[in-house]
Structure 1
Amino acid sequence: MPYIEAAVRRQQFIAAARIALLAHGVAKTSLRVVAAEAGVPLATMQYVFPSKEKLLRAVIEDVVDEIAHVLADSAATDQGLANAIRQGLDTYWGQLVRNGRELQLLQYELTMYALRTPGHEDLARVQYERYAAVVADWCRHAAEHAGETAVVSFDHLGRMIVAGVDGLILQYVCDPDDARARKGLEALAEMAKALAGV
């Protein structure tokens, strides 16, 4: 077997884990299942990820990084916070929700698994802290770049946007309705703008 750098191998295992998680769900995805998906011996898998918790944490971080990249590439942050929020929500929804129902279900399943599995509760907290931090940093950058200030903290604004998006996503995965989702996103953008008070 040819040598593969640890960082490359790690990303391969995370990608294999995402495929396995989407196919089998969190509860039925073991390190052995992910190793099989990656086409490596279990021992190789365990060398990089010695526990399922460490692998799930890495998957959560990977999903959050994907969201951060979508937000970073989604809107011109020099046109003000309100415009960035509107464009960011539209792009996020179009790229990761409308055609990504399985990814959204995986995120909720990771949250529920963590909350219901003794000793793993921290994963759910980390997951939502990272979501909120990504959105808060993105909002902060947009406001500062445009020379704007907000009347609430960006941490609070980020958490409220995540809460709103979370609710809209849950409704959408239960009953996909693009027209309703569009109205919901427009309302959320207006509420976030009003909350920020820019």
Structure 2
Amino acid sequence: MARLPAGQRREDFITAAVQIIAERGVHGATTRRIAERAQAPLASLHYCFHTKEELFLAIYEDMAATQLREGFHVREGSGLGRAAAGLLRQVAAWFGKEQTYAQAQLEMFFWVLRQDSDLAKRLYQVHLDMLEGLLRQGLRPDDDVKLVEVLARTIASVADGLVPQWLTFKDPVMRDTTVDVIAESLERLADAHRIPQVTAAG
């Protein structure tokens, strides 16, 4: 068996774990199955991830990094409302494309929530931090910065509801119509909270 760099081996284990969790659920994602899917020795998996919790956190971090790498973006200074609306549409489109990740995330999160509420908070915070960072890129001087956290949580909450709906119906019209209504509402909310700017007297 070819010897792979540690970083590549970790990526292989993460990909294998996501696939098996989506197929069999968390309880079916044994370390042996993950190692077999990754075509790697079981000892290598235990070397890369000492616990299942470490593996799950790595999956969430990898998911956030993948979303950023594959096109989640906000135009700098575009305005908080437009940034939130665009970001929600990007999140919905990504989960529609990456159904395996979407299924695995659902399976994994509720299992973690039952096992370790502190770890569940850490996992959820990974995505909130990513969303907040992107929204801040869109801030204009007259935007209310206090809305950033609220909008990030709202986008995450909407995505949480969209994922099971999408996996159940797989109806892009239903998904896009729902997303458009909420995206427009987020944009109006941010616009309604703009802070009047004082201009210097000429």
Q: How high is the TM-score relative to the length of structure 2?
A: 0.82
The reply to whether residue 113 of structure 1 matches residue 111 of structure 2 is: yes
Runs of 4+ in 1 over 6 A off after TM superposition: none
* Paired letter, 2:4: I
Match of 1:185 in 2: 179
CA contact (8 A) 2:22 2:101 kept: yes
Match of 2:165 in 1: 171
Question: Would the alpha carbon gap of residues 63 and 151 (structure 1) be closer, same or farther in structure 2, given more than 3 Å must change?
Answer: closer
Deviation, structure 1 residue 71: 5.5
Question: Would the alpha carbon gap of residues 44 and 165 (structure 1) be closer, same or farther in structure 2, given more than 3 Å must change?
Answer: closer
The reply to whether residue 84 of structure 1 matches residue 78 of structure 2 is: no
Match of 1:141 in 2: 137
Higher helix proportion: 1
CA contact (8 A) 1:70 1:92 kept: no
Distance 1:51 1:25 in 2: 17
CA contact (8 A) 1:135 1:158 kept: yes
Distance 2:88 2:3 in 1: 41
1:58-97 equivalences under 5 Å are 58-70=58-70, 72-73=72-73, 75-94=74-93, 96-97=94-95
Q: Which runs of 5+ in 1 are unaligned?
A: none
Distance 1:187 1:140 in 2: 23
- Give the secondary-structure state (helix, strand or coil) at the position aligned to 1:79: coil
CA contact (8 A) 1:70 1:91 kept: no
* Paired letter, 1:176: K
Distance 1:181 1:2 in 2: 44
Match of 2:198 in 1: none
Deviation, structure 1 residue 59: 1.1
Question: Would the alpha carbon gap of residues 116 and 45 (structure 1) be closer, same or farther in structure 2, given more than 3 Å must change?
Answer: same
Moved more, 178-187 or 37-46: 178-187
The reply to whether residue 161 of structure 1 matches residue 155 of structure 2 is: yes
Question: Would the alpha carbon gap of residues 156 and 38 (structure 1) be closer, same or farther in structure 2, given more than 3 Å must change?
Answer: same
The number of equivalent residue pairs is: 192
The reply to whether residue 103 of structure 1 matches residue 101 of structure 2 is: yes
Percent of aligned pairs with the same residue? Answer: 26
Deviations 1:98-133 (A, max 9, x none): 23333222111111111223xx33332122212212
Higher relative contact order (CA 8 A, sep 6+): 2
Question: Would the alpha carbon gap of residues 45 and 169 (structure 1) be closer, same or farther in structure 2, given more than 3 Å must change?
Answer: closer
Moved more, 76-85 or 49-58: 76-85
Q: How high is the TM-score relative to the length of structure 1?
A: 0.83
Cα-Cα RMSD? 2.3
